[in-house]
Amino acid sequence: MDSFHILANQGILALTGFALLYFLLNIRNFSVFLVEKRFSVFILIFITFIISLLKTNPENQKYAALQFELHYQFLALPFLFAVLPPFPKKLYYDTFFLFLLIVFVCSVGSTAIYFQNKEYFDWAYGKSHLIPTPINHVRYSLMVTFAIFVSFYLLVKNYFNDLFFKFLNIAILIFLIFYQHLLAVRSGLVAFYAVLLLIIFYSITSKNFKNGILVFLGAIALITISFFSLDTLRNKWGYTMYDWNLSDIKDKANHYSIGKRLVSQQVTFELFRDHPIFGVGEGNLEAEVRKGYEKNFSYVEPANRLSPHNQYLRTLAATGILGFIIFMCCFYFPLFSGKNYKSKILLSIYIITSVSFLFEDTLETKAGLTFTFFFIMFCLHYTKAIRSDRDLIHDLEKRQS
């Protein structure tokens, strides 16, 4: 994980440096950053974050500094993609394919570990232990879901001219769907089927009823076959049901994942209820969560006291209702501006991210923030390039007529 954090920081700093250099060499484009509202709007989230940090108590300065180090991406990445010119379409597809290959290779390694110790992992899934993954299993399962959609998207866009690579991509697609169910991470599976519903919706609304029905029936068959053929998925389901139905909240909050998450969300909601307008402050949140546990849930052992496992609730607790409204408006504005929701690749990463917000504080970890925010920016840049190409073609046609 440390190596991932270092690479993420260095990568973003390098990309931002290139953007700054391009910006300085093209100083006449100073207004580009401000005019590109789909990117610059994220700066309001960063400003809200900075204002919230001003409430930090002296004893919480170290945590506040760590939060600043994490959240500077809300300033760096929008600036990076706003000032860089559109890339050739092939470069976007090549980047998507590279991401797909990386996830595929890592998933093959994870699957190999599972089959080397199949009996152990089948048993372990009944105890909420999972197959090893390159990074946190929740964040990685979200990456797998996006990789699956990327694979499908590249097929639809006829990215592969060579028949060999086309069949290779289909094989990767099938394997990653299998792996997602083998891994059996709840948030990843929910995100996967949410994206699948998107595909069904688009098929029906575009009058491809046959394709929509086939995908729907395929999804039902996939769930059924996976449940009865994969021990990890079946055991994870059994563990989840047992966890959910436990009546002893003390036992549930100390030994079972759903119970721990529910208590963390309750602690977070009570912080919001006590500080509804401006929140407790980004820099104070960790300390206030600890106090909340001590005050109302002292029976939860320190090792089982989780950070807020819901991005929406966390934002409410940290910045209050005002900060939450700013976050929601600014975060989702680029999706609806200029009907960008029609871009399937952009909509898919937004759906995956939004689903993850329900179960995790996705933007509060380096892996979660870097993955989701980078690809939101990258897909926005791709959508901008597609629109520029269409406008250029339209202008040429207009001149010819």
Cα–Cα nearest to 177, from 188, 187, 167: 188
Predicted confidence at residue 2, as pLDDT, reads: 46
Predicted confidence at residue 284, as pLDDT, reads: 94
Q: What distances in angstroms separate CA 102 from CA 55, 87, 99, 138, one per listed residue?
A: 41, 22, 5, 17
**pLDDT per residue as tens digits for the range 179-206:** 999 999 999 999 999 988 888 887 777 7
Secondary structure of residue 29 in the 3-state scheme: helix
Predicted confidence at residue 292, as pLDDT, reads: 92
Say whether pLDDT at 16 is over 60: no
Q: What distances in angstroms separate CA 298 from CA 264, 289, 292, one per listed residue?
A: 12, 12, 9
**pLDDT per residue as tens digits for the range 115-133:** 999 999 999 888 878 899 9
Given pLDDT bands bounded at 50, 70 and 90, which one contains residue 347? very high
Residues above pLDDT 70, as percent of the chain? 85
Say whether pLDDT at 92 is over 60: yes
Q: What distances in angstroms separate CA 28 from CA 24, 25, 32, 274, 381, one per listed residue?
A: 9, 9, 9, 49, 20
Q: Under 8 Å CB-to-CB from 281, ≥6 apart: which residues?
A: 52, 53, 54, 55, 56, 57, 318, 319
Mean pLDDT of 2-13: 51
Say whether pLDDT at 3 is over 60: no
Mean pLDDT of 33-46: 82
Cα–Cα nearest to 122, from 232, 238, 242, 233: 232
Given pLDDT bands bounded at 50, 70 and 90, which one contains residue 257? confident
Tokens 């609806």 locate to 336
Given pLDDT bands bounded at 50, 70 and 90, which one contains residue 1? very low
Say whether pLDDT at 379 is over 70: yes
Mean pLDDT of 264-290: 93
Say whether pLDDT at 22 is over 70: no
**pLDDT per residue as tens digits for the range 222-246:** 888 888 899 999 988 888 887 777 6
Secondary structure of residue 26 in the 3-state scheme: coil
**pLDDT per residue as tens digits for the range 136-170:** 899 999 999 999 999 999 998 989 888 888 999 99
Mean pLDDT of 25-43: 69
pTM: 0.89
**pLDDT per residue as tens digits for the range 295-338:** 888 888 888 888 888 999 999 999 999 999 999 999 999 999 88
